[in-house]
Structure 1
Amino acid sequence: MTRETEVDGPEDAAPTSFASPEFAARYGVKPAMSRTRKITLGVVGLCVLGGVVGYIAWNQANPAVQATVVSFTTSTDSVTVTFEVDKPTDEMLECTLDAEDLQGNIVGSANVPVSAGRSKEDVQTTVNTTAAPNTVVVSSCVKG
């Protein structure tokens, strides 16, 4: 009586799943993460997240450059404004001023250079407008 030799196919070479009993019997089962470890990782993750949120909030609340309108005088076709800029001493900036009417529409705009040399600078300028302005705001200050 002759026996035919069987050829092992790829399906016979390894278990079909990492969860199969043959795999577990051969290599063992990795224990699940303990409750203490899960809680510790959760607390550490929350602390890291809280630190990142706190850092971002602190930087947004305390910008390196701040500009504030001190006073302004309006006429029918212009507004004269005095504004104060707090900035690093060695930076030259360009601040954009927007004049707005009663409805909040922008009726005039001006880009004003702020020179380097002092950390607190008071600047006065006149913004020409297309209609009677109601207020003026410093919309941005960027490095110039």
Structure 2
Amino acid sequence: MCVVQCSYLPSQTPNGVVGLRKRELEVVRGNGCGERKAHDRIYDYDVYNDLGNPDDDKNPTTRPVLGGKEHPYPRRCRTGRPRSKKDPFAEERNHTDHIYVPRDEAFTERKTGAFETKKFMSVLHALTTGLKTARHKSQSFLGH
């Protein structure tokens, strides 16, 4: 038996699928509570309120919150981390430097490998171009 998946506009969704679609949207939108985990598939957006680090004892930095009701962009996926102790508008910084990215938007191992290869090739190209430029600079009529 072959099952065909079809995409429907909300107004054209068959009655038997309406309840499933509604539940799926509730899951994907999230409920606004709790910290996001790597296995979650939630697109719950928030403002950028983790750019500074007000709780750092050695070098506290406070940054303005970007986004909000008046200016909704930029926005990022909500992390659900607790609020800062010193700045109630900021989130606590993550000690592991892990940033929540929805599961289906995260890089696969193959894509990560391709990205790293391209990055290496770009650095190598920049270095060789810089060396060629430095070597030929003395031969240029501007190099006198």
Task: Flag whether TM exceeds 0.5 (same fold).
Answer: no
More strand as a share of residues: 1
Q: Which has the larger radius of gyration?
A: 1
TM-score by length of 2: 0.24
Structure having the larger proportion of residues in helix? 2
TM-score when normalising by structure 1: 0.24
Q: Which is bigger in relative contact order (C-alpha 8 A, separation at least 6)?
A: 1
